[in-house]
A and B are shown apart, each in its own frame.
Chain A
Amino acid sequence: MFSCQMSVGDVDGADVTTIEGLSPDGTHPLQKARVAEQVPQCGYCQSGHIMRAAALLSDNPNPTRDEIKEEMSQNLCRCGTYNRIFKAVERAASQA
């Protein structure tokens, strides 16, 4: 879910994972895949993209390209890193 569309009160009592908590040392498969595919440019949108992809892979460890497109289309990237986002999600899925 988007942190900007959710008030803190709505997640009272729930476990919340942010980009800082995805892995202790940046070694979550999605983080490693993002570096391997050299996805980030300005990087401002990347935290949201990574968490969106993490939610996708936790529900669906082997998504098709259409499923990735459907899920990731909720996020925007102004730098145009989209085709690398596909590759990174696919790489992470194959190595998770």
Chain B
Amino acid sequence: MTANLSRRGFLKTAASATAVLYVGATADGVAVAAGNTDAMLNPFVKIGSDGQVIAMIKHFEKGQGPATGLSTLIAEELGVSMDQIGYEFAPSNPEVYNNLFFGPFQGTGGSTAMANSWMQYRTAGANAREMLIKAAAEAWGVDASGLDIQNGMVTGAGQSAPLGTFVEAAASFAPSETPRLRDPSEWKIIGNEATRRLDSPIKVNGQAQFGMDIHLPNQMVVMIKRTPQRGGLVAGFDDSAAKEVKGFIMAMPLPTNHGVAVYAENTWAAMQARAAIEVDWDMSGAEARSSAEIREGVMAALNTAPVYNVNKADQAAITSAVDASAKVLEKTFYFPLLAHAPMEPMNCTIEQTAEGDIVLHDGAQMPTGPHMAFQQIFNLPADKIHIKTLLAGGSFGRRATPEADYQVEAALAFVMTDRSRPVKLVWDREDDIRGGYYRPATGHKVRVGLDADGNIAAWEHQVAGQSIMKGTPFEAVAVRDGIDNSTVEGLADNPYAIPNMSVGLTDTEKATSVLWWRSVGHTHTAYVMEVMMDMAAQASGRDPLEFRLAYLSGDDADSQRKAGVLKLVAEKANWGNPAPGNVQGLAVHKSFGSYVAEVVEVSGTPEDGIQIEKIVAAIDCGIAVNPDIVRAQTEGAIGYGIGHAMREKITLDGGAVEQSNFPDYEPLRISDIKAIETHIVPSAEAPTGVGEPGTPPAAPALANAIARLDLRVAELPMVEQGVSFA
């Protein structure tokens, strides 16, 4: 199999057309290029003379919806229906398909796929429309201003013809730098409740192709015999027993000595052979701590003066102000390591073409990462390395490691061969849970002073945890003055108008490896902020909704939008009036540019079992390009937050991860949440994040409901803090 990428792939797709119009967009998202020649290899939309319209999707699809959402933008501006557009995942090219929020780097993350692409894809679609219309106007001898494209037909001045008719002529025009974008009043697909996902049909009939589905002719399967303690190195190994396994090919230590690569004819043989290999590990530099020791390190850091003053507050004055308050609320929180545990474990496949090019088949979340690493590993220029992006079976952050961990592993396994056979690297679930990357273990210590009227007088906040960014290639851009914002995001920058707030930070030693995990720092900062706000409201004898709104009374957009989702969720959840026997909890948080409020209503008791009866959410994410995907993502993000808060944690014993698979790392189950609904605040603002913002408020809303049953949970998971679930 040769590289079905870049130009060859495009021409193949457009094989039935006699001419193709390619329209691109440069990195600034405005200026565009077009043409039907070989010079235009990396378009955003390509239109064949047969009328076929293909949107090129620069983000990977893990279920969050960019294949549909970005196609929607092209279809809307061009003037075709969703039935008339298809999509392909873009090749790796950080200059053309970069994430506009990340710099010259192609990647998906931080809930930015729609937010960074919003103007870029609309501009590309609008340019294609204008060029086709100009060609039609010339052909018909009429004024272009009277023409439009609707449902794939160029229409006006008493004429009508399929848009493909004008592709050849349109391709000779120079594109405009400022094409007219359709006015929101013209939108038929954006914001339409009836707009369906383009990838649903293939996901219900077995046609969807994930990385794990790749089966190239003559491929070998490689699994890695991994160190039980992160950082262990191979000192020696014995594969004599593996040689008895049918289908075993060979075993070799990775050049990094981080494991032994086991090559086999198929996955089952690789699993059996790997189990039969004995490895002598050098654990002198390996992680050896237990979870209890990691927790002690965090707690010790919270009990000393913070190293970093995050918001440059006068910390001594704020400590004094808290001390002098009429009432002081003090709470210490702890959040354990968590695994991402996407349904599809890590995997990717590498092959070399007859021309010596390297092709990576991967559910690639950050193509630029492996693309750069492969240039070094294979000593090839960038244009000799191709990444074919496949559907990904979830990620939650896991597929985007700064060091491109599993792709590099596969490349190292491949370079040790003669490259005549493709190599498919397969992780199993146990590899993923034990040898992967974790949400950092983090602690917070908060002291809130209330005045005699129950208002917040001062707020002293200290965080201790492992920095995600330090020690990675992202440190230079993500760490400022020693402060990794991903540890403290959502605290000092919270829209609440909290007076006299100090935020301190101390980094603790990294345990095993840490990584962004759906909503990153907000997973713990939102919990602490919203539980403390709830405690403050309780201590003041005030309604939690009214109390929060009092700190969102400013006329700035941040305050208004955060208050807006609170008011909407309160109305939709019938706040203050739960069903008989039930209690409600409320939380709200801004993350990734969006605002989400949630009400969790539960029945039962912590002793006999809590049942989550209903969760109602309200989200303000700017323009909801696809309202149903916004709802689906919010539902999923809530479930992700709730499931982990209920009962999930990763623990270490002597440096080794104790969990291995879903029986001991039990995710959310179908019975855990009886009902869930999401309401969207109408907005004319540009789209902001959707994949993650639903997660942060979910756990604190549940905790605040349980607090109404006289149990305040400040450490997760809840099942270890006296909460049982029905």
Q: Do A and B interact with each other, yes or no? A: yes
List A residues at the B interface (Cβ < 8 Å). Answer: 18-20, 22-23, 26, 30-31, 34-35, 38-47, 50, 69, 72-73, 75-86
> Is B668's CB under 8 angstroms from A82's CB?
yes
- Cross-interface CB contact of A45 among B62, B202, B205, B343, cutoff 8 Å: B343
Q: Using Cβ atoms and an 8 Å threshold, which residues of chain A touch B342? A: 42, 44, 78
Interface residues of B in 665-689 (CB under 8 A from A): 667-673, 675-676
Q: Is there a chain A Cβ closer than 8 Å to B200's Cβ?
A: yes
A80 to B670, CA, bound (A): 8
> Is B205's CB under 8 angstroms from A22's CB?
yes
- Cross-interface CB contact of A18 among B200, B206, B628, B673, cutoff 8 Å: B206
A72 to B391, CA, bound (A): 24
User: Residue on A with the closest CB to B341?
Assistant: A78
A45 to B41, CA, bound (A): 35
Interface residues of B in 648-665 (CB under 8 A from A): 662
* Stretch among B239-247, B447-455, B632-640, B713-721 lining the A interface: B632-640
Q: Using Cβ atoms and an 8 Å threshold, which residues of chain A touch B205? A: 19-20, 22-23, 26, 31
- Shortest Cβ gap from A84 to chain B (Å): 7
Q: Is there a chain A Cβ closer than 8 Å to B201's Cβ?
A: yes
> Is B63's CB under 8 angstroms from A79's CB?
yes
A51 to B181, CA, bound (A): 45
A26 to B200, CA, bound (A): 11
Q: Is there a chain A Cβ closer than 8 Å to B39's Cβ?
A: no
> Is B391's CB under 8 angstroms from A43's CB?
yes
> Is B668's CB under 8 angstroms from A80's CB?
yes
Q: Using Cβ atoms and an 8 Å threshold, which residues of chain A touch B206? A: 18-20, 47
- Can you list 22 A-B contacts (CB < 8 A)? A20-B206, A38-B197, A38-B632, A40-B199, A41-B62, A41-B63, A41-B64, A43-B203, A43-B208, A43-B210, A43-B393, A44-B210, A44-B344, A73-B670, A80-B636, A80-B637, A80-B638, A80-B668, A81-B636, A83-B673, A84-B635, A86-B670
- Cross-interface CB contact of B203 among A46, A69, A72, cutoff 8 Å: A46
> Is A69's CB under 8 angstroms from B670's CB?
yes
A82 to B62, CA, bound (A): 17
> Is B62's CB under 8 angstroms from A42's CB?
yes
> Is A77's CB under 8 angstroms from B204's CB?
no
- Shortest Cβ gap from B490 to chain A (Å): 22
> Is B394's CB under 8 angstroms from A83's CB?
no
Categorize the interface residue count of chain B.
35 or more
Q: Using Cβ atoms and an 8 Å threshold, which residues of chain A touch B597? A: none
Taking A42-B392, A78-B396 as given, write out 7 further A-B residue pairs in contact, using a Cβ cutoff of 8 Å, ordered by the A residue number: A23-B205, A38-B628, A39-B200, A40-B203, A45-B343, A46-B204, A77-B343
> Is A79's CB under 8 angstroms from B636's CB?
yes
- Shortest Cβ gap from B299 to chain A (Å): 31
5 closest residue pairs by CB, A with B: A80-B639, A44-B393, A41-B63, A42-B63, A43-B203
- Cross-interface CB contact of A81 among B202, B210, B632, cutoff 8 Å: B632
> Is B197's CB under 8 angstroms from A40's CB?
yes
A26 to B208, CA, bound (A): 13
Q: Using Cβ atoms and an 8 Å threshold, which residues of chain B touch A50? A: 204
Interface residues of B in 606-640 (CB under 8 A from A): 628-629, 632-633, 635-640
A69 to B637, CA, bound (A): 21
> Are A73 and B669 also in contact (CB < 8 A) when A40-B63, A50-B204 are?
yes
Q: Using Cβ atoms and an 8 Å threshold, which residues of chain A touch B639? A: 80, 82
- Shortest Cβ gap from A43 to chain B (Å): 3
> Are A34 and B670 also in contact (CB < 8 A) when A40-B63, A41-B64, A42-B63 are?
no
Q: Using Cβ atoms and an 8 Å threshold, which residues of chain A touch B672? A: 82
Q: Is there a chain A Cβ closer than 8 Å to B196's Cβ?
A: yes
A46 to B640, CA, bound (A): 17
A35 to B205, CA, bound (A): 11
A38 to B635, CA, bound (A): 12
- Cross-interface CB contact of B671 among A42, A69, A77, cutoff 8 Å: A69
> Are A84 and B632 also in contact (CB < 8 A) when A42-B342, A45-B343, A73-B669 are?
yes
> Is B670's CB under 8 angstroms from A72's CB?
yes
- Shortest Cβ gap from B396 to chain A (Å): 8
Q: Using Cβ atoms and an 8 Å threshold, which residues of chain B touch A39? A: 200, 204
Interface centre among A31, A38, A50, A80 (most CB of B within 10 A): A80
- Cross-interface CB contact of A83 among B392, B635, B667, cutoff 8 Å: B635
> Is B667's CB under 8 angstroms from A78's CB?
yes
A85 to B204, CA, bound (A): 12
- Shortest Cβ gap from B453 to chain A (Å): 41
> Is A79's CB under 8 angstroms from B394's CB?
yes
User: Residue on B with the closest CB to A25?
Assistant: B205
> Is A78's CB under 8 angstroms from B394's CB?
yes
Q: Using Cβ atoms and an 8 Å threshold, which residues of chain A touch B204? A: 19, 26, 30-31, 34-35, 39-40, 46, 50
Q: Using Cβ atoms and an 8 Å threshold, which residues of chain B touch A35? A: 196, 200-201, 204
Could you mark each residue 180-206 of chain B with 1 if its beta carbon is under 8 Å from any beta carbon of chain A, else 0? 000000000000000011011111111
A44 to B635, CA, bound (A): 18
- Cross-interface CB contact of B201 among A26, A42, A78, A85, cutoff 8 Å: A26
> Is B394's CB under 8 angstroms from A42's CB?
yes
User: Residue on B with the closest CB to A75?
Assistant: B670
Q: Using Cβ atoms and an 8 Å threshold, which residues of chain B touch A20? A: 205-206
A94 to B629, CA, bound (A): 25
> Is A76's CB under 8 angstroms from B669's CB?
yes
Q: Using Cβ atoms and an 8 Å threshold, which residues of chain A touch B394? A: 41-42, 44, 78-79
A18 to B206, CA, bound (A): 9
User: Residue on A with the closest CB to B638?
Assistant: A80
Q: Using Cβ atoms and an 8 Å threshold, which residues of chain B touch A44? A: 210, 342-344, 393-394
Q: Using Cβ atoms and an 8 Å threshold, which residues of chain B touch A75? A: 670
Q: Using Cβ atoms and an 8 Å threshold, which residues of chain A touch B344? A: 42, 44
Interface centre among A44, A72, A82 (most CB of B within 10 A): A44
A72 to B629, CA, bound (A): 23
- Shortest Cβ gap from A24 to chain B (Å): 10
User: Residue on B with the closest CB to A33?
Assistant: B204
Q: Using Cβ atoms and an 8 Å threshold, which residues of chain A touch B200? A: 34-35, 38-40
A31 to B205, CA, bound (A): 7
> Is A76's CB under 8 angstroms from B638's CB?
no
A46 to B206, CA, bound (A): 9
- Shortest Cβ gap from B598 to chain A (Å): 14
Q: Using Cβ atoms and an 8 Å threshold, which residues of chain B touch A73? A: 669-671
- Shortest Cβ gap from A8 to chain B (Å): 11
User: Residue on B with the closest CB to A86?
Assistant: B670
A64 to B670, CA, bound (A): 15
User: Residue on B with the closest CB to A66?
Assistant: B671
A73 to B401, CA, bound (A): 32
> Are A42 and B391 also in contact (CB < 8 A) when A19-B206, A26-B205, A34-B204 are?
yes
A43 to B671, CA, bound (A): 20
> Is A82's CB under 8 angstroms from B673's CB?
yes
Q: Using Cβ atoms and an 8 Å threshold, which residues of chain B touch A26? A: 201, 204-205
Q: Using Cβ atoms and an 8 Å threshold, which residues of chain A touch B669? A: 73, 76, 82
Q: Using Cβ atoms and an 8 Å threshold, which residues of chain A touch B396? A: 78
Interface centre among B196, B203, B637, B675 (most CB of A within 10 A): B203
Q: Using Cβ atoms and an 8 Å threshold, which residues of chain A touch B64? A: 41
A41 to B200, CA, bound (A): 8
> Is B343's CB under 8 angstroms from A42's CB?
yes
Q: Using Cβ atoms and an 8 Å threshold, which residues of chain A touch B633? A: 41
- Shortest Cβ gap from B58 to chain A (Å): 18
A76 to B639, CA, bound (A): 12
